[in-house]
Amino acid sequence: MALDLSMPVLVVDDYKTMIRIIKNLLKQLGFEDVDDAADGTEALAKMQGRRYGLVISDWNMEPMTGYELLKQVRSSDSLSKTPFIMVTAESKTENVIAAKKAGVNNYIVKPFNAATLKTKIDAVFDN
C-alpha cells in the first residue's frame, strides 16, 4: 500500500501537548488531514464515522487505553485493516510483544522526532 499524504490521520492521546507535537510533525512530513481524539473511546467513535488511513495512538490513556483501542480496531470487520502505530513512553519488551500480538503495525518510543516518525510510517506502508 502506497503512502498517501492526503489520507486522513487520527492522532489519539490524552495529553493535548503531545497531540499538538505529533500533528506538527505530521504536517512537517506533508500530511494535510490530521484529526485527533483524547482517548480510545473517542477515537473509536470517530473511526466508526470516518475512514482513517492511519491511526497513531498513545498507549497510556483513560478510560480506554491505546492497547484496548488497538484490540477493538483489530476485532472490527470494518476497521481491522487500518494501519496502527502505537506511541509510548515505556519501551517495556512485554508491551511491545503484547502490541505486536494484538496486531500493531509499528511502535514508537517517546521522545521522537519527525525523522523517526517518517521511518515508522514508511515501514508501515512499504510492506
- CATH number of the domain bearing residue 33: 3.40.50.2300
Q: Is the pTM of this model over 0.85?
A: yes
Give the residue-averaged pLDDT of 96-123: 95
Query: Domain range for residue 53?
Result: 19-126
> Is 4 part of any domain?
no
- Domain count across the chain: 1
The answer to whether position 14 is within a domain reads no
Domain annotation covers residue 53: yes
Contact between residue 4 and residue 53 where contact means Cβ atoms under 8 Å apart: yes
Alpha helices (H) in the chain, listed in sequence order: 16-28, 40-49, 66-75, 93-102, 114-126
Could you report how far apart the first and last alpha carbons of the chain are, in Å? 7
Inside any domain, residue 59: yes
Does any domain span residue 60? yes
pLDDT tens for 75-109 read 999 999 999 999 998 878 898 899 999 999 999 99
Closest by CA to 34, choosing from 44, 45, 46, is: 46
pLDDT of 2 > 90? The answer is no
Indicate whether 87 belongs to any domain: yes
Per the CB < 8 A criterion, the answer to whether 26 and 3 are in contact is no
